Structure 1
Amino acid sequence: MTAQSLSEIVRRLVDADPCVRDCLARGIVNYSELARRIKPLVEREAKRGASLEAVKAALVRYASRLREQNIQTPQRRLLEVLAKSALELRTGVTVATVRLHALPRLVEAAAALVGRTRLLFLMQSIASVTITVSSEYFDYIEQRVGRENFIEVYPDQAVLVIVSPPAVVETPGFTAYITSILARNGININQIESVYTDTILVLSLDDALRAFQLLREAIEVAKRSLREYEKGQAANTE
Structure 2
Amino acid sequence: MITVTDTIRQIILETPFLEDGLADGIINLSALARQMKPRIERELLKPTSESAILMALKRMLPDIRLSKKVVETFNKDLSDITVRSGLCEYTFVKSATILEKRQQLMQTLRDRQDYFVTFTQGIHEITTILNSSLKPRITEIFAGEEQVSHLDDLAAITLQLTREMVHTPGIHYNILKQLAWQRINVIEVVSTYTEFNIILEKKQIDRSFKLLFRYLHRT
The answer, yes or no, to whether TM exceeds 0.5 is yes
Q: Shorter-chain TM-score category?
A: 0.7 to 0.9
Per-residue CA shift, 1:160-195, capped at 9, x if unaligned?
101233322222211111111111111111111221
Q: Secondary structure at the match of 2:186?
A: coil
Identity across the alignment (%):
25
Could you list the runs of 5+ residues in structure 1 that have no partner in the other structure?
Answer: 225-238
How many residues align? The count is 215
Q: Structure 2 vs 1, CA of residues 62 and 89 (structure 1 numbering), >3 Å: closer, same or farther?
A: closer
Q: Normalising by structure 2, report the TM-score.
A: 0.86
Q: Which moved more, 1:154-163 or 1:111-120?
A: 111-120
- What is the aligned partner in structure 2 of residue 192 from structure 1? 189
- What is the aligned partner in structure 1 of residue 146 from structure 2? 149
Per-residue CA shift, 1:16-66, capped at 9, x if unaligned?
444434544555532211111111211221233333333223323333xxx
Query: 1:5 Cα shift?
Result: 3.5
Measure the CA separation in 1 of the matches of 2:118 and 2:7. 44
- What is the aligned partner in structure 2 of residue 46 from structure 1? 44
Query: 1:147 Cα shift?
Result: 5.8
Measure the CA separation in 1 of the matches of 2:72 and 2:52. 35
Measure the CA separation in 2 of the matches of 1:15 and 1:149. 38
Matched, 1:82 2:75: yes
- What is the aligned partner in structure 2 of residue 127 from structure 1? 124
Query: 1:139 Cα shift?
Result: 0.8
Measure the CA separation in 2 of the matches of 1:56 and 1:74. 20
Q: Structure 2 vs 1, CA of residues 160 and 10 (structure 1 numbering), >3 Å: closer, same or farther?
A: closer
Query: 1:138 Cα shift?
Result: 1.2
Measure the CA separation in 1 of the matches of 2:143 and 2:173. 37
Measure the CA separation in 1 of the matches of 2:173 and 2:110. 31
- 2:27 is aligned with what amino acid? V
- 2:181 is aligned with what amino acid? R
- 2:81 is aligned with what amino acid? L
Give the number of the structure whose residues are more often helix, by fraction. 1
- What is the aligned partner in structure 2 of residue 29 from structure 1? 27
Q: Normalising by structure 1, report the TM-score.
A: 0.79
> Does the aligned pair in 1 maintain the 2:87–2:131 contact within 8 Å?
yes
Q: Structure 2 vs 1, CA of residues 156 and 16 (structure 1 numbering), >3 Å: closer, same or farther?
A: closer
> Does the aligned pair in 2 maintain the 1:82–1:164 contact within 8 Å?
no
Q: Which has the larger radius of gyration?
A: 1
